[in-house]
Amino acid sequence: MDRRAFLASTAATAALSGPAIAAPADPFPAILDAFLALSPEQATSAGLDTGPRAALKHRIDPRDAAHRLRFYDALIAARPALENARNGATGRYARFVDSAIWVSDIFAGFQKFAYGSVDGYYYPVPFAVTQMSGAYKDVPDFLDVQHTITTRDDAEAYLDRLADFARVVEGETALCREQAANGASPPDFILERTTTQLQRFMAAQSGATPGLVGSLIRRTAKAGLAGDWEKRALSLVAGPLATAIAEQAAIIEALKHGARTTAGVGGLPDGHAYYARCLAFHTSTDLTPDAAHAIGLEEVKAISAEARTVLDRQGVTRGTVGQGVKALWTDPRYQFPDTDAGRAEVLAFIQGRLDDIKTRLPRAFSALPRTPLEVRRVPQEIELGAPGAYSQGGSIDGSRPGAIYFNLADTHNWPSWVTPSTVYHEGLPGHHLAASFANEARDIPTVFKLLVFNAYNEGWALYAEQLADELGVYDEAPLGRLGRLQDSLFRACRIVVDTGLHARGWSRERAIAYVVDNAGSTPDDARREIERYCSWPGQACGYKIGHLEFLRLRALARRKLGQRFDLKAFHDTVLRNGPMPLTSLSRTVDAWIAGR
């Protein structure tokens, strides 16, 4: 979006968000072009790989040492232009510039560390390849789901990306070696999990029709595109890509010998400073690890008391909250069969919750997003290390729907009273609603539809779980409220264990035990989550910190506006300005309150 288009579109929303006066030189169009050049996958995901940018559809993101921060390098390079744009800017535009400067400064600080990179979620990570990050994990699903094939050029682009895939894996493997030489390699249990994941990837690419090859064959046939696609794709997958993955697996295997057993990054060179910067990024605050730890402990105590009341009403009066949750978690009355038919039941149940919440949302929102939402299972080849559930936004151009993924490796992780809160978190009114509003907005610079603001994104999604409760989804199923409280309690526990692991030297086993004892999680679910935090330092803290800020701002607006408070208008304000750091969110709400 150029400066004139930005000014024209923001004029229409001035009454909602205040005046928007652009600086003399708008840096965002150039930043967007630099972003997409460094992240062709984002261009495809957003539907921006057409026209003058069509060549981007033939490449995937580089992940070598020279590109370890990927598209954030564009923001770092644009820092002087952003500073110039800030002079004289006011209103919404000033907040957009401030947000971009914030991201630029955060990632400029990551450059000083001799290790670390950015993963498929564009989070800062200490290790290039783990059970949570790496091209092997991100690219197959990206190619199958987001790379569209309707023309011959689309199919040729797919083949070019397969060739690029092998080169990217080679660069990523070299980065792993470099990081290890600089004293930063994953702990032994992460390496073991990564080995299993790589083996699953290689197994999925073997047989008569490897997964990556099968995707191309299936979709070229559907599009009526004749050609020797199978032969050409197979030569790339069975040749350069297989060689590159085998080399990467060998490096991971070699790193196991003498691997450290400590779980957190505090033991890495300058590890405490690295963690502090991760925490700053993921919470968009200046909280110290000690301060965040204290907030987590306080929230665990408060939410446990609320959950205790719900348990008592259900007749579960014995034992701790964690024990009560655990007992209900394993109760056969609330379990889906751990079979293919049971997994189909889980997906149908999730769709039913989405259909119900859609009827309630008009009470809290002035409009609903147009982007469709699909329910999918996490691909089996990556489910061992994947999160329990996650959301994938639709494309900016509207050509691809959004999706929510559920990890169904074990259906016992999804009791019927627990599952709804995750549906509201990942789908509606959570991630899908927020991402769709941003993507569909015409008055937000496109860059802000691509940037990651973890505390905003996850804080809104956790707020959405509570909002669904406030809209009455549990009036006829009160045990579901315990599911919502357990989710909130789990996010509070995340702050405690994340800061415990990375700033206080907690062991993996201590962190698992804390989550099992206090949140009632199953040992397997807790283990998978704790290993996730070891690979994603600080990320787990963004949920509850962001949730608390959304609640604080809503309470502030209610108190200051009294009878003039309008929940729909509040939601318009916090959503229709797009994702941002919590500091910018606070200023946005303050401006809205003053305007009313």
Q: Do 338 and 212 have their domain in common?
A: no
Contact (CB, 8 A) for 298 and 308: no
Boundary residue ending a domain (215, 232, 259):
259
Q: Which long-range contacts (CB under 8 A, 24 or more apart) does 156-162 make?
A: 156/58, 157/57, 157/58, 158/216, 158/233, 159/216, 159/229, 159/232, 159/233, 159/236, 160/58, 160/59, 161/57, 161/58, 161/59, 161/60, 162/212, 162/233, 162/236, 162/237, 162/241
Q: Is 569 part of a structural domain of the chain?
A: no
Q: Do 180 and 299 have their domain in common?
A: no
Q: Is 564 part of a structural domain of the chain?
A: no
- Give the chain's domain count: 2
Q: Do 299 and 199 have their domain in common?
A: no
Contact (CB, 8 A) for 136 and 197: yes
Beta bridge partners of 125: 117
Contact (CB, 8 A) for 403 and 330: no
User: What's residue 524's pLDDT?
Assistant: 86
Q: Is 374 part of a structural domain of the chain?
A: yes
User: What's residue 386's pLDDT?
Assistant: 75
Q: Is 567 part of a structural domain of the chain?
A: no
Alpha-carbon torsion 121, 123, 128, 132, what sign?
negative
Q: Do 192 and 319 have their domain in common?
A: no
Q: Do 34 and 153 have their domain in common?
A: yes
- Per DSSP, the three-state class of 124 is strand
Q: Do 309 and 376 have their domain in common?
A: yes
Q: Do 241 and 346 have their domain in common?
A: no
- pTM score of the predicted model: 0.91
User: What's residue 24's pLDDT?
Assistant: 52
User: What's residue 272's pLDDT?
Assistant: 97
Cα(526)–Cα(512) distance, integer angstroms: 6
Contact (CB, 8 A) for 60 and 138: no
Cα(502)–Cα(497) distance, integer angstroms: 8
Contact (CB, 8 A) for 123 and 283: no
Q: Is 288 part of a structural domain of the chain?
A: yes
Q: Do 140 and 247 have their domain in common?
A: yes
Stated length of the chain: 596
- Per DSSP, the three-state class of 402 is strand
CB half-sphere exposure, 215, CA atoms < 13 A: 21
Q: Do 147 and 282 have their domain in common?
A: no
Q: Is 558 part of a structural domain of the chain?
A: no
Peptide bond into 332 cis (omega under 30): no
Q: Is 160 part of a structural domain of the chain?
A: yes
What is the distance in angstroms between the CA of the first residue and the CA of the last residue of the chain?
Answer: 29
- Per DSSP, the three-state class of 169 is helix
Domain residues for the domain of 201 are 28-77+113-186+188-259
User: What's residue 293's pLDDT?
Assistant: 98
Q: Do 179 and 232 have their domain in common?
A: yes
Q: Do 299 and 446 have their domain in common?
A: yes
How many Cβ atoms are within 10 Å of 194's Cβ, its own excluded? 28
Average pLDDT, 10 consecutive residues per value, the chain (596 residues)? 39 40 74 96 95 97 95 96 92 93 97 94 96 95 94 98 98 96 95 94 84 94 96 96 97 95 95 98 97 98 96 91 91 96 98 98 96 93 79 89 95 95 98 95 92 96 98 95 95 98 98 94 89 96 98 98 97 95 96 94
Q: Is 591 part of a structural domain of the chain?
A: no
Q: Do 307 and 246 have their domain in common?
A: no
How many angstroms from the chain centroid is the CA of residue 68?
19
